Amino acid sequence: MSSQSAPSTIPRQRIRDLLPTLHLGRYQPGPKNSLTDIPGVLVHTESIHSSPAYPDAPPNDINTGVTTIIPRKDWFHKACFAGMFRFNGSGEMTGAHLIEEMGLLFSPIIITGSFGVGSAYNGIYEYAIRENCDKNGKVDWFLLPVVAETFDGFLHDVSKFAVTPKHVIDGIDKASSDPVKEGNTGGGTGMICHYFKGGTGSSSRVVPGEDGKSYTVAALVQANYGKMWDLKIGGAPIGRLIYEEQKRKIEENPDDPELLAQANLLFKVKKEKDKKDGSIIIILATDAPLHPQQLQRLAKRATVGLSRVGGYGTNSSGDVFLAFSTANKLNVQTVTVGQASVDPYKAREVSVTMTDDQTINALFEASADAVEEAIYNVLCMAETMDGNGNKIEGLNLERVKELMQKYL
């Protein structure tokens, strides 16, 4: 959706670069201000704009992708504690029942478009088989892949199954500790946020611990939700101001072809979003020693960051949040069909570390702040996209800077 008649002259940049004085919480970001500030966490994003399976697809029809998050390199054998929160459940995150039951994460986390879930699921299995099969190519272990989705059908032709298992295998192989690429990338390639171009964003915070220690909590979001007039930045009603400005222009100049085209596009986007407001997936990671119940509580705090920007969990939105901690390493795959290194009928003690609940507030606060900033980074980094016969414009950063002057 166009936000004004004149294009922005400001290049795409993160929210801290655009608005240096914007208050984004009490705690400082990590060195990358990204999910990969958590030691051992690896990420890869891949956008998909073509497919050999559809050589005759019209130009710009395929706009989807895959985001791969590796909790730790040895994710197959060493689980992380994890917890989930479902703010609104009109969406999918496979493997969720196991996480809620056992509090363990021992799978890559893949985020993609709704119609890519099946291929992504198979991709995790194919990678795991490649790396963990016996000499005959067979396996006797158990694994439930974790794959989440948001719907990219406005800018991407979802009848084109462009995501393949190989994209996921490549994502696991290539995942790195580099800062997460943001905007039109990975699973967020074809997404829309508050009627502007949406996508992938990330942020982190460092919080103090006792005895000179510090802990990091970080967020990665795939944002595909929201209405323009609900968008807020630092509490300022920027989306409503842009919407009312555009509405006033078309009322004053009803015959202006450019404004008329913008108004028609706004109506089209609104109609589509009223049918299916497209969801947000939020992944929180931390190196603080949290157990599954604490991580479930951490995941709930993602809702605070989302609400600050203007999300309130519409009926058709899939707002699913997952938090995991890398602090403890839990052995898995110790009991398989073919062998067992422990006796499943003899209780065995293991030692874990945890955080005192009475000292957890900074992690809660930092989680909300990181989610809020990650969504801003989506909007600031995502670029205008033509796709599937439609067009969604990136948020006009120059106009945002002008409107924010009275609020900073």
Q: Hey, which residues are catalytic here?
A: 279, 317, 319
Pick from 226, 244, 217: nearest CA to 317: 226
Quick one: CA dihedral 351, 34, 126, 84, positive or negative? positive
Q: How far apart are CA 234 and CA 23, in angstroms?
A: 7
Q: How far apart are CA 66 and CA 47, in angstroms?
A: 7
Q: How far apart are CA 365 and CA 370, in angstroms?
A: 9
CA angle, residues 380, 385, 387, in degrees to nearest 5: 150
Angle in degrees, 0-180, between the axes of helices 361-381 and 292-300, rounded to the nearest 10: 50
Distances in Å between the Cα of 119 and the Cα atoms of 150, 213, 399 are: 15, 42, 40
Pick from 113, 117, 124, 114: nearest CA to 65: 113
